[in-house]
């Protein structure tokens, strides 16, 4: 739609920044900018409390981002549970890894219901001076075709069935994983690796209270963590196709395959949740960020970039991006200076991957490791050594360290450790071959992940060499 045609046909409003979607990214950005004098229109298709199984464990890195933006209070009043670290349970053997400390104090994440957290974020946006919250579904961009710019959006308000428009020097698209607006703003490909099935366990005691739990072994991994003082979320991985949730047989197979791997104290609550049949499934989508620069618009959150949810890193990436883009926009002052707005968007796209590459890579790399029996065993034994062998990986997982060299070092060390265990006690040809296969598996996991995150020249050369040695 061209700008000429709107004034006569539809009602229009103006602001500095138009934000599409009041989820984790959009509501936080609106609150952050609105409190600092930017006029924001925040458009959300449904303002009622969402009932989703996503975004329920915020890593300490995400908590820090909220604190840095002055928004930590959104974690209050929602029965959020402190999360102090992870418990890894490998065929019944338990390993507890605490989160890192900062200035002598242990850092913590939070477990909560996504819907409650979102409603607090939306309230923070609404209470900010300069933010107008609109309940409406955005249908598309308004474009100034001659200038090649996006100049706003068209939307239909929920209560009135009439198309309206908001014009703004910048539109920030935060419409989540099923974004209908991203096509114009990126060249990214989505890959669905499988599904997470979510169940909510009532009055369930976890083996390590106030910890995220990852259950690994010969079958695919599953997770559990506290999301309120009375509830524990369980997310079960189904690789490949979406499970058929209907029918008695599905409930029985869950009790057999997952219930049997749970510690005794969780079994009754799990059986009760299965009996309720209140299942929800969500696709696990990986999408590397590959934005196209379109003046007047920018992508943020899941609409730009997604990673496997195994490590619970999505909200930390979204909040990191909100602060990065937000700070660049706050330096502009006068939003009518188009070149300044475009420059801020360019800097954000150029800089953000440096902050988020570790979270993106670790999520899929760890999923790859946990689903390969030899690497799975090697990783568990490596972490069991404790000290720096566990401290580095948990600092990366928690979003506290964003040091890609640390990630590469630990990943390589796990692979070599697996190869070393394979040739023990004496290197026979069969054992050496097994060690070679473990190293090749590791390279196949990490190679595409590193290649997608703008690797340095040195990393590219190292990957080239690894592909020759491990074809």
Ligand X SMILES: Cc1cc2nc3c(=O)[nH]c(=O)nc-3n(C[C@H](O)[C@H](O)[C@H](O)COP(=O)(O)OP(=O)(O)OC[C@H]3O[C@@H](n4cnc5c(N)ncnc54)[C@H](O)[C@@H]3O)c2cc1C
Nearer to ligand X, 27 or 294 (CB): 27
State which of positions 298-327 bind ligand X (CB under 6 A).
301-303, 309, 312-316, 318
Determine which residue in the list 17, 30, 43, 266 makes contact with ligand X, applying CB under 6 A: 43
Nearer to ligand X, 25 or 341 (CB): 25
Any residues with CB less than 8 A from the CB of 190 and at least 6 apart, and which?
Answer: 285, 286, 287, 306
Q: Answer yes or no: are the C-beta atoms of 463 and 447 closer than 8 Å.
A: yes
Rounded distance between C-alpha atoms, residue 197 and residue 305, angstroms: 22
Shortest separation between residue 397's beta carbon and ligand X, angstroms: 11
User: Binding of ligand X at residue 83 (CB under 6 A)?
Assistant: no
Segment near ligand X (CB under 6 A); pick from 141-149, 171-179, 441-449, 462-470 = 171-179
Strand-pair partners of 40: 17, 131
Rounded distance between C-alpha atoms, residue 17 and residue 125, angstroms: 13
Cβ atoms within 10 A of the Cβ of 222, count?
24
DSSP letters spanning 301-344: GGGT-B--GGG--HHHHHHHHHHHHHHHHHTT--TT-HHHHHHH
Give residue 157's region: left, alpha or beta (phi > 0; psi -120 to 50).
Answer: beta
Any residues with CB less than 8 A from the CB of 346 and at least 6 apart, and which?
Answer: 293
User: Binding of ligand X at residue 26 (CB under 6 A)?
Assistant: yes
Determine which residue in the list 180, 193, 210, 347 makes contact with ligand X, applying CB under 6 A: 180
Residue with nearest beta carbon to ligand X: 23
Shortest separation between residue 337's beta carbon and ligand X, angstroms: 27
Segment near ligand X (CB under 6 A); pick from 44-52, 164-172, 183-191, 431-439 = 44-52
Nearer to ligand X, 110 or 466 (CB): 110
Shortest separation between residue 286's beta carbon and ligand X, angstroms: 11
Rounded distance between C-alpha atoms, residue 279 and residue 197, angstroms: 7
Nearer to ligand X, 24 or 466 (CB): 24
User: Binding of ligand X at residue 24 (CB under 6 A)?
Assistant: yes
User: Binding of ligand X at residue 23 (CB under 6 A)?
Assistant: yes
Q: Answer yes or no: are the C-beta atoms of 296 and 185 closer than 8 Å.
A: no
Nearer to ligand X, 24 or 33 (CB): 24
Determine which residue in the list 272, 282, 330, 412 makes contact with ligand X, applying CB under 6 A: 282
**Order of strands, sheet of 57-58, starting from the edge strand that comes earlier in the sequence:** 57-58, 109-111, 81-83
The binding site for ligand X (CB under 6 A) comprises: 20-26, 43-46, 53-58, 137-138, 174-176, 180, 196, 235, 282, 284, 301-303, 309, 312-316, 318
């Amino acid at each position: 739609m061209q700008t000429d045609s709107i004034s006569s046909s539809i009602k229009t409003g103006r602001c500095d920044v138009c934000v599409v979607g009041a989820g984790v990214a959009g509501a936080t950005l609106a609150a952050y900018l609105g409190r600092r004098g930017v006029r924001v229109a925040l458009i959300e298709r449904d303002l009622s409390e969402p009932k989703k199984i996503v975004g329920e464990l915020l890593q300490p890195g995400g908590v820090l981002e909220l604190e840095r933006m002055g928004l930590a209070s959104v974690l209050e009043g929602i029965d959020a549970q402190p999360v102090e670290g992870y418990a890894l349970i490998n065929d019944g053997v338990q390993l507890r890894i605490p989160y890192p400390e900062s200035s002598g104090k242990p850092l913590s994440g939070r477990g909560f219901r996504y819907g409650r957290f979102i409603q607090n974020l939306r309230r923070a946006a609404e209470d900010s001076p300069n933010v107008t919250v609109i309940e409406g579904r955005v249908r598309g961009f308004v474009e100034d075709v001659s200038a090649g710019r996006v100049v706003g959006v068209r939307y239909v308000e929920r209560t009135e069935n009439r198309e309206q428009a908001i014009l703004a020097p910048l539109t920030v698209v935060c419409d989540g994983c099923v974004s209908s607006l991203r096509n114009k703003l990126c060249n990214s490909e989505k890959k669905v690796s499988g599904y997470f099935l979510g169940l909510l366990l009532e009055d369930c005691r976890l083996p390590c209270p106030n910890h995220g739990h990852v259950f690994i072994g010969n079958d695919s991994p599953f997770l559990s963590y506290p999301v309120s003082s009375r509830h524990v979320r369980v997310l079960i991985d189904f690789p490949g196709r979406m499970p058929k949730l209907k029918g008695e047989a599905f409930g029985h197979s869950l009790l057999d395959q997952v219930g049997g791997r749970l510690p005794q104290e969780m079994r009754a609550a799990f059986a009760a949740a299965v009996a309720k049949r209140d299942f929800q499934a969500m696709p696990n989508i990986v999408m590397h960020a590959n934005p196209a620069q379109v003046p007047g618009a920018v992508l943020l959150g899941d609409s730009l970039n997604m990673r496997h949810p195994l490590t619970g890193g999505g909200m930390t990436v979204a909040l990191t991006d909100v602060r990065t883009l937000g700070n660049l926009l706050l330096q502009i002052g006068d939003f009518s200076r188009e070149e300044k707005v475009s420059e801020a968007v360019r800097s954000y796209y150029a800089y953000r991957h440096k902050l988020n590459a570790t979270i993106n890579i670790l999520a899929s790399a760890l999923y790859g490791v946990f689903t390969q029996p030899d690497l799975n065993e090697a990783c568990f034994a490596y972490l069991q050594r404790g000290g720096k062998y566990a401290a580095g990986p948990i600092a990366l997982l928690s979003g506290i360290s964003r040091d890609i060299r640390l990630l590469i070092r630990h990943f390589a060390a796990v692979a070599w450790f697996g190869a070393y265990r394979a040739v023990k006690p004496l290197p026979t040809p069969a054992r050496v071959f097994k060690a070679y296969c473990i190293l090749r598996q590791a390279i196949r996991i990490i190679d595409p992940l590193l290649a997608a995150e703008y690797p340095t020249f040195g990393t590219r050369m190292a990957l080239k060499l690894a592909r020759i040695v491990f074809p």
